[in-house]
Amino acid sequence: MISLNEAFRIVESAKVFPEHETISFLNANNRVLAENIFSDLDFPSFDRSAMDGFACKESDIHQTLEIVETIPAGKVPENIITNGKCAKIMTGAMIPEGADCVLMVEFTEMTDHNHVHYLKDKTKKNIRYRAEDLKKGDVVLTKGTILKPAHIAVLASVGAVNINVFKKINVGIISTGDEIVEPENKPELSQIRNSNAYQLMAQVEQCGANAIYIGKAADNESSTYEFIRKAIAASDIILLTGGVSMGEFDHVPGILKKAGFDILFQKIAVQPGKPTTFGIKDNKFVFGLPGNPVSSFIQFELLVRHLIFRMMGHNYQPVILQIPIADDYRRKKAERMSWFPVTINEKGLAVPSEYHGSAHIFALTEANGLTYIDEGKELIQKGDLVNVRLI
């Protein structure tokens, strides 16, 4: 049995070979950039007014000024501003030649239909100068960025309409267990509905990868082996749930070896998720995850999510907050690191969820974070700082 840190190191050291493709920026939301994006323009591309007002020479602000034109956004000024003159200007419009400031309209008054007087002694420039945000050729987005709506706006702004992104990977999901029935069926006595597969599919899709449900294998070697063969053909990563602990019907690790996988670990000193398996076959990867839903959820977050992102060119860094715990958290056994769900409340405290163990899937529905108590420790006292990993 290895530590969670060692398991993470093994998964992170696995060699990956992300591939890329060219797509329209219109289809790029939640994809990972495979190239740096450069600005094709200065931003702003011209000196522009930061507000509605009057463009003039700052040396003239104490005299009544004659308005020589009105400049809306999108219009090129027609006049040069000379002494005693100004132009009425709108936010975002081009500053006319000769003007070096914009008087805020709120601090002016019209003396007649064609003249304006400034009511203050001083003014700011109120100009957004050419290239003060970006210069032509500057990097605006870096390789490995997961593209979100704000990034799409940047792509549009710099004319990057066709971009290189890393290809999505396929993640095949197999459930195991004769006790499992699909959600549309009502379980008979001793049966349970298949929640793991659909939970994992949602987690995979949240990463931007393709989730493929391979199916439910029966609790025998031939069925499990056949499903694994199908998954190898269709997937870059395979996720199996159930069949990985030490029970009589827990035969997944042996079948993975038969299918050609090199098993790098089978047990982790962590709760929940001790019987987590990881293996490699050529450029394919497999995780054998525990059958209990909280176990599979947490081990996905701690190990699988990182590998999915790396295979799609992104260096995933989870958001971890160090905040006080709201109440004492106590446990009876302390031989393993233990993870449990929490909710961050309005006071910024981590409130432990009501949690009955790794089968208690309802404990995750209100939680927005995971935290842990270290091996050998039985108590976290109220007010102690804990590391909360957002989910």
**Least confident residue range of 93-107, 171-185, 272-286, 314-328:** 171-185
pLDDT of 338: 95
Structure tokens at 337: 């690191």
Question: What is the rounded average pLDDT of the residues 212-217?
Answer: 94
- Determine the Cα–Cα distance for residues 129 and 126; give it in Å rounded to an integer: 9
pLDDT tier, 321 (very low <50, low <70, confident <90, very high otherwise): very high
Q: Tell me which architecture the domain covering 4-17+168-311 has in CATH.
A: 3-Layer(aba) Sandwich (3.40)
Q: Is the pLDDT of residue 249 over 70?
A: no
Find all residues with CB under 8 Å of 44, minimum gap 6, and list them.
128, 129, 130, 131, 132, 133
Q: Residue 153 CB: number of other CB atoms within 10 A?
A: 10
pLDDT at 363: 86
pLDDT at 2: 96
Distance, in Å, from the CA atom of 217 to the CA atom of 178, rounded to the nearest integer, reads 8
Which position has the token pair 């050609």?
260
| Domain 25-42+132-166 CATH assignment equals 3.90.105.10 | yes
The pLDDT score that the predictor gives to residue 203 is: 97
Distance, CA of 279 to CA of 288 (rounded, Å): 9
Q: Where are the domains of the chain?
A: 4-17+168-311, 25-42+132-166, 48-128, 320-390
Yes or no: domain 48-128 corresponds to CATH 2.60.120.10: no
CB count in 10 Å sphere of residue 26: 11
Q: Quick check: 247 pLDDT over 60?
A: no
pLDDT digits (tens, 9 = 90+) for 21-53: 999 999 999 999 999 999 999 999 999 999 999
Alpha-carbon gap, residue 129 to 370, rounded angstroms: 46
244 pLDDT higher than 80: no
Token pair listed for 99: 């003007």
Taking residues 94-114, report their average pLDDT: 97
Q: Given this model, what pLDDT does residue 288 score?
A: 93
pTM of the model: 0.89
Domain 320-390 architecture: Beta Barrel (2.40)
Q: How confident is the model at residue 250 (pLDDT cuts 50, 70, 90)?
A: low
CA–CA dist 23, 271 (Å, integer): 42
Whether the CB-CB separation of 203 and 293 falls below 8 Å is answered with no
* 343 beta partners: 351
